[in-house]
């Protein structure tokens, strides 16, 4: 009974479609309490990548879990269909750029092109998400371009406008010249990276003085717009004579290192010192004459406290249209005002306007070179070099941003920061550091939000204004627009091309009010998603708060702390005074195996669909969520990791079911009764242990899932799979096969236990690995009997309730005992591995040294220890001295040295002289005095070692002890070869080989065959026939029948199923499996 996981998953997808599984689950829970989940909308202009698959997996696990816990969890897919990503694609495709090109083409045609590509990959998304196993409603999805969604965005904005939380202002904003639009501060920080820019030192001769002011800048393109130079009033500046040129310069002393590469060798003389405030009002010669007449009162020194001593020369060139600090300082000094705006000779495409005649039509970053060249020719350039620094890039076009003055619309955020931080406290974030550090810091330092974009494909700002902007009307619905405007046509679309022509009559005698040009920042739309996806308040207003809002859970990547999480929070707090979500899981980034960003051009990652088709979605899901990425850390994606999940998790789980199935067939054959499970009624230690382990797991999952800690839940689930396969089934194979020499009732009890554990596991794992659990559940159903009698719809494991803790099955004593047994076995395996002794080789003695409680626990289970470790005798003792176990003190000297200083040497010399009794007392008291020096806690670490030349073990003839240690247990494994064990080793080896032959021949446990042997070569004279006959019952219970001698000529060839020759030590056997 083999399995191909990807093929089995595809069959399950077909089954889910047949039974309409997701909708059926929703109907089964529709009268239950609601668990609200918001799906952060992706753009559909690209195919889903591993980051999407990771968040989709998290977004599937949590809703599946709470659905199985009895909640009604609506899941609707969302699409982000507006904004810069779509427009940028169209601009590249059509070769258009800038407002004039779009207006020439026509907004209606431009928007039609945008609409045409918005859902380009929707079908691929749907197919991939379904194949991943995520249940979400694509048919009842929401799109930010739908008129209902857009109308709710108008309502949100109207609420803020009416609360005086919206204003228009002239501000210096991050500006994307590739997209011809300002960005918000939030967006500008989404793509910061190292770049190279020109760095120049420029001289500004002071009028009426022989000295020049020295400024430093990495934006030479702003120099044509220079109006002022800022100094710090309280700083002391030097006036120096440069002996090489004979010129005089003014700058901070810290700026000398910029002027001279080697300050010590520099030839200059300090001729004076000046306070910054002394220079305020000095006039200087403009670099360029473009604005010298219009702003003739400028071109002088002003004071500004923001000037820093450790940056540049301490004199800062001021271009008020291209820097917020420059603008604020110029306003404070009285040279610039809303009525007298500074020169801004750069258009929306980043090119100089006709005002700057020498560089008109050049992009500012290209013009840098020409400006530096011209400054050199005029003698004003002192130094030109390149500097590497971190700068902001457009998150969509990946082009360097500039800062530029714009008139725009803003939402007040700074006045809500205290409330946002207060409401943040009541939310759960996983991992918590994202909330406590990253997000809280971002909120605390928030700017007011520029929500307007000079673009076309987006929700239009619902603002109608007079030409002088003194009359502003904000519209909150389509109905209100029709009422105010008198428009009587249909408005089933409110994009720019449909409403820009609608005017509203002024109520102040200012003629017709026209809509402003801007559209919403698409982050405003995604932040409005809780309301707009439900067309609130126009529909679904009943029970909205407490039902649909706030969300119980959301999940996205770490990059959304400055994106969706933030915009949700701003609007939720502004509208309703609460955080719009109660819990959030923040995942880290999925990188390529080399640690770089995944790149299509570099082809540095495997195609997700190929990985799913090769290993299955369950394997990919488990790999992703059982990794550091669910703790907000990066994950280097390795395909081999997905493959390991198949080998180490899915196959063992499948093999557990397969083993169960084979034993039920055997049970029917031997008892004549078909197996139907009942609640286990068993006294067997291992049965009670695995059942108790399942209850501990369920209790742990309930606790951790309430805190959304997937990174602790998944390892605990995998631990139970390991306990089931590598401990319970391994130790109970004979009982489950009915070959342990006990009655059929014991076999039934063991099968009941195994069935119960499998049934518990498939339900507990269902949210995490929905395919394999569905597959196994459907195969288990015929055996579950009354377990499903009260289930209204048992077609799918996902329709069942999540398993609840059964207190009666808890047994801490049993768990403690088995834990002690496991520790012994693991330590002994380690000792065997170190000596390269395989398990099939029998050993004589295992000594276990531990405390009385552990020894008592192990004594009860030592039969399992002997059988698993192939050991004849187990000695249990707490007599460490008898076996030469000594305590030894070890110290981390760098740490203790810092604490003790000179006394550390005293302790170092005295340490070897401590007696065993003193060390034991330290273990108990955690305190000791050495030469008058008090040590405590973790100052000393006590380790156990095996003493060399121990006289007590020397008398144990032929014994070769190999030790293994844990914190509270020591084992000594006698690894010597003893003649009396050789026959046991041969017998065990023969049984193993017969079992492998049965497997090779494709036999199942119910297939009875004759097992025959013939001795081919026996140079050591092993009495093999005696060896077999003396262990007849052992052979019959292990390989289900006797091993009989045969003559090679005595068996008809047609009756032979498989024949193989085997060499065991020096003994050569011919083994046959024959038909009865």
Distances (CA, A) of 417 to 430, 563, 564, 931, 1027: 22, 16, 17, 59, 84
Q: Which pairing describes strands 472-474 and 463-465: parallel, antiparallel, or unpaired? A: antiparallel
Give the whole-angstrom CA distance, residue 159 versus residue 146.
Answer: 20
Among the listed residues 523, 654, 689, 727, the single catalytic one is 523
* 600 catalytic per annotation: yes
Which of 41, 85, 320, 963 is labelled catalytic?
A: 41
Cβ atoms of 77 and 134 closer than 8 Å: no
Report the chain's terminal Cα–Cα distance, integer Å: 24
Residue 710 to residues 276, 344, 716, 730, Cα–Cα distance (Å): 58, 52, 10, 29
Tell whether omega for the bond before 431 is within 30 degrees of 0, i.e. cis: yes
DSSP-derived 3-state class of residue 583: strand
Distance CA 883, CA 935 (A): 29
Element at 21 (helix H, strand E)? helix 21-29
Among 16, 464, 564, 727, the active-site one is: 564
d(CA 504, CA 254): 60
Decide: 462 and 158 in contact? Cβ < 8 Å.
Answer: yes
Active site residue 163: no
3-class DSSP state of 411: strand
Backbone dihedral angles phi then psi of residue 868, each to the nearest 5 degrees: -70, -40
Q: How far apart are CA 968 and CA 1025, in angstroms?
A: 45
Catalytic residue (choose from 104, 267, 437, 600): 600
* Bridge partners, residue 551, by sequence: 581
Non-local CB neighbours of 167 within 8 Å, separated by 6+ positions:
409, 410, 412
Q: Give the chain's length.
A: 1076
Joined together, the tokens standing for residue 712 give: 């602790």
Rg of the chain over all Cα atoms, to the nearest angstrom: 39
Catalytic residue among 318, 362, 560, 756: 560
H or E element, residue 389: strand 381-392
Q: Are 494 and 475 in contact (CB under 8 A)?
A: no
The verdict on whether 560 is a catalytic residue reads: yes
All residues at 6 or more sequence positions from 238 whose CB lies less than 8 Å from its CB, including other chains:
250, 251, 252, 253, 256, 270, 272, 273, 274
Q: What are the helix (H) ranges across 646-743? A: 651-671, 685-706, 710-722, 730-731, 733-737
Of 92, 437, 597, 835, the active-site residue reads: 597
Q: Check: CB of residue 42 under 8 Å from CB of residue 52.
A: yes
Find the farthest-apart pair of alpha carbons in the chain and give their distance in angstroms, rounded.
125
H/E element, 556: strand 554-557
41 is catalytic: yes
* Residue of 25, 60, 63, 80 marked catalytic: 80
Backbone phi, psi, residue 695, to 5°: -65, -40
- 3-class secondary structure for 905-962? HHHHHHHHHCCHHHHHHHHHHCEEEECCEEEECCCCEEEEEECCCCHHHHCCCCCCEE
Task: Count CA within 13 A, CB hemisphere, residue 401.
Answer: 30
Residue 31, C-beta contacts closer than 8 angstroms, at least 6 positions apart? 72
Of the candidates 636, 800, 650, the one whose C-alpha atom is nearest the C-alpha of residue 717 is: 650
Is 564 catalytic? The answer is yes
What backbone phi and psi angles, to 5 degrees, belong to 35? -115, 115
80 is catalytic: yes
- How buried is residue 1066: exposed, middle or buried, by Cβ count under 10 Å (0-12/13-18/19+)? exposed
Exposed / middle / buried, residue 310 (Cβ in 10 Å: 0-12, 13-18, 19+): exposed
Place of tokens 């991050």: 174
**What is the Cα–Cα distance from 774 to 795, expressed in whole angstroms?**
10
Rounded distance between C-alpha atoms, residue 163 and residue 574, angstroms: 9
| Helix, strand, or coil (residue 137) | strand
What are the residue numbers of the active site? 41, 80, 523, 560, 564, 597, 600
């Amino acid at each position: 009974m083999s399995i191909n996981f990807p093929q089995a998953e595809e069959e399950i997808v077909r089954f889910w479609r047949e039974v309409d599984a997701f909708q059926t689950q929703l109907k089964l829970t529709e009268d239950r309490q609601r668990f609200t989940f918001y799906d952060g909308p992706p753009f559909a202009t690209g195919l889903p990548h591993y980051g999407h698959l990771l968040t989709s997996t998290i977004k599937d696990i949590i809703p599946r879990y709470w659905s199985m816990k009895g909640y009604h969890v609506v899941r609707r897919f969302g699409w982000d269909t507006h904004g810069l990503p779509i427009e940028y694609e169209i601009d590249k495709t059509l070769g258009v750029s800038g407002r004039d090109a779009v207006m020439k083409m026509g907004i209606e045609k431009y928007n039609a092109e945008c609409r045409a590509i918005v859902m380009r990959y929707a079908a691929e998304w749907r197919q991939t998400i379904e194949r991943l196993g995520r249940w979400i409603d694509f048919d009842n999805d929401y799109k930010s371009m739908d008129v209902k969604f857009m109308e709710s965005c108008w309502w949100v904005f109207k609420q803020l406008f009416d609360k005086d939380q919206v204003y228009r202002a002239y501000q210096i904003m991050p500006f994307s010249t590739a997209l011809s639009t300002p960005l918000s501060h939030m967006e500008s920080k989404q793509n910061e990276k190292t770049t190279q820019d020109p760095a120049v030192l420029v001289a500004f001769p002071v009028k009426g003085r022989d000295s020049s002011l020295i400024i430093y800048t990495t934006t030479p393109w702003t120099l044509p717009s220079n109006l002022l130079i800022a100094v710090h009033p309280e700083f002391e500046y030097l006036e120096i004579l440069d002996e090489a040129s004979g010129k005089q310069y003014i700058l901070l002393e810290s700026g000398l290192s910029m002027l001279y590469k080697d300050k010590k060798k520099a030839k200059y003389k300090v001729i004076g010192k000046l306070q910054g405030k002394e220079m305020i009002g000095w006039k200087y010669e403009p670099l360029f004459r473009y604005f010298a007449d219009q702003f003739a009162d400028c071109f002088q020194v002003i004071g500004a406290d923001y000037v820093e001593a450790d940056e540049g020369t301490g004199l800062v060139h001021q271009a008020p249209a291209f820097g917020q600090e420059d603008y604020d300082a110029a306003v404070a000094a009285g040279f610039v005002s809303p009525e007298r705006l500074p020169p801004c000779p750069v258009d929306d495409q980043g090119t100089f306007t006709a005002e700057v005649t020498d560089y008109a039509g050049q992009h500012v970053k290209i013009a840098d070179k020409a400006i530096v060249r011209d400054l050199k020719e005029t003698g004003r350039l002192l130094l030109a070099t390149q500097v590497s620094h971190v700068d902001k890039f457009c998150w969509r076009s990946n082009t360097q941003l500039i800062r530029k003055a714009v008139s725009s619309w803003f939402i007040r955020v700074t006045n809500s920061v205290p409330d946002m931080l207060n409401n943040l406290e009541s939310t759960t974030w996983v991992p918590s550091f994202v909330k406590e550090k990253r997000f809280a810091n971002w909120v605390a330092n928030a700017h007011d939000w520029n929500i307007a974009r000079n673009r076309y494909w987006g929700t239009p700002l619902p603002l109608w204004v007079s030409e002088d902007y003194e009359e502003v009307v904000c519209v909150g619905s389509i109905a209100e627009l029709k009422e105010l405007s008198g428009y009587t046509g249909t408005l089933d679309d409110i994009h720019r091309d449909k409403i820009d022509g609608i005017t509203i009559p002024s109520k102040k005698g200012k003629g017709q009010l026209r809509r402003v040009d801007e559209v919403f920042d698409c982050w405003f739309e995604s932040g409005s998603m809780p309301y707009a996806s439900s067309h609130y308040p126009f529909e679904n207003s009943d029970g909205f708060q407490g039902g649909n809002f706030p969300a119980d859970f959301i999940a996205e990547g770490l990059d959304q702390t400055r994106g969706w999480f933030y915009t949700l929070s701003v609007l939720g707090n502004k509208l309703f005074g609460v955080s719009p979500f109660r819990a959030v899981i923040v995942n880290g980034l999925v990188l390529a195996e080399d640690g770089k960003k995944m790149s299509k051009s570099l082809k540095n990652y495997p195609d997700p669909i190929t990985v799913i088709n090769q290993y299955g979605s369950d394997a990919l899901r488990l790999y992703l969520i059982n990794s550091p990425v669910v703790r907000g850390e990066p994950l280097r994606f390795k395909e081999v990791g997905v493959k390991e999940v198949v080998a180490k998790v899915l196959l063992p789980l499948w093999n557990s079911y397969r083993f169960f199935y084979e034993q039920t067939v055997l049970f029917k054959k031997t008892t004549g009764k078909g197996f139907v499970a009942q609640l286990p009624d068993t006294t067997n230690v291992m049965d009670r242990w695995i059942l108790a382990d399942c209850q501990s797991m369920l209790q742990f999952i309930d606790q951790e899932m309430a805190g959304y800690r997937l990174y602790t839940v998944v390892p605990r689930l995998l631990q139970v799979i390991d306990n089931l396969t590598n401990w319970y089934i391994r130790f109970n194979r004979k009982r489950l096969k009915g070959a342990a020499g006990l009655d059929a009732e014991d076999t039934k009890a063991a099968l009941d236990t195994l069935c119960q554990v499998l049934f518990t596991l498939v339900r507990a794992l269902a949210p995490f690995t929905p395919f394999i659990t569905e597959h196994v559940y459907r195969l288990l159903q015929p055996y579950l009997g009354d377990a499903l009698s009260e289930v209204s719809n048992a077609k799918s494991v996902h329709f069942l309730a999540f398993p609840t803790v059964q207190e009666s099955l808890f047994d801490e004593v049993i768990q403690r005992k088995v834990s002690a047994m496991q520790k012994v076995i693991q330590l002994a395996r380690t000792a065997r591995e170190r000596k390269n002794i395989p398990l099939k080789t029998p050993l004589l003695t295992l000594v276990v040294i531990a405390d009385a409680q552990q020894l008592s626990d192990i004594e009860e289970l030592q039969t399992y220890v002997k059988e698993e470790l192939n050991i004849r005798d187990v000695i249990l003792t707490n007599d460490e001295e008898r076996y030469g176990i000594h305590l030894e003190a070890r110290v981390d000297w760098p740490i203790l040295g810092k604490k003790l200083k000179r006394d550390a040497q005293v302790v170092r010399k005295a340490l070897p002289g401590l007696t065993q009794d003193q060390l034991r007392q330290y273990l108990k008291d955690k305190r000791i005095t050495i030469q008058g020096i008090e040590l405590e806690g973790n100052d000393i670490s006590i380790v156990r070692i095996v003493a060399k030349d121990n006289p007590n073990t020397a008398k144990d003839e032929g014994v070769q002890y190999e030790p293994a240690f844990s914190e509270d247990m020591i084992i000594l494994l006698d690894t010597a070869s003893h003649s009396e064990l050789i026959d046991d080793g041969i017998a065990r080896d023969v049984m193993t080989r017969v079992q492998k032959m049965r497997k090779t021949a494709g036999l199942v446990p119910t297939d009875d065959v004759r097992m025959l042997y013939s001795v081919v070569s026996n140079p050591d004279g092993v009495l093999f026939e005696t060896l077999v006959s003396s262990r007849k019952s052992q052979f019959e219970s292990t390989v289900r029948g006797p091993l009989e001698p045969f003559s090679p000529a005595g068996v008809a060839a047609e009756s032979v199923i498989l024949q193989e020759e085997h060499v065991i030590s020096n003994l050569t056997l011919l083994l046959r499996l024959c038909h009865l």
